[in-house]
Amino acid sequence: RDLRMSRGLGDVYKRQEYGKKETHKLVTHGVYAYLRHPSYCGWFWWAVGTQLLLANPFCTVAYAVASWRFFDDRIAYEEETLREYFGKEYDEYAKKVGTGIPLIK
């Protein structure tokens, strides 16, 4: 990653930020008005959907369970941080907008 950035490709790759800055805002418009974690939702349904299309019942269930467990842990961890950063604003947002993944509120 550092090599890519030193070669001028850094604009393509986002740098991870640590800690909340004054300029950070909670994004609730666009796709985030419909899903709190759109990329996770898409990945979950892609993983399950590909196995459904292949008519592979064992892998459909296995992918669904493995993906669900991963995203359940990941979303809980990320949302803990988002609640620390944005407090009540994030709580209100989370009440209105779902994750798009079954049983993950």
- End-to-end CA, the chain: 34
32 DSSP assignment: G
Q: Does residue 99 register a pLDDT over 70?
A: yes
pLDDT at position 1 is 47
pLDDT mean over 39-44: 96
pTM for this prediction: 0.76
Average pLDDT for the chain: 87
CB contact at 8 A, 63 and 69: no
Residue 14: per-residue pLDDT: 52
Structure tokens at 55: 């008519």
Task: Give the list of residues 6+ apart from residue 10 with CB closer than 8 angstroms, or none.
Answer: 4
At 36, is the secondary structure helix, strand, or coil?
coil
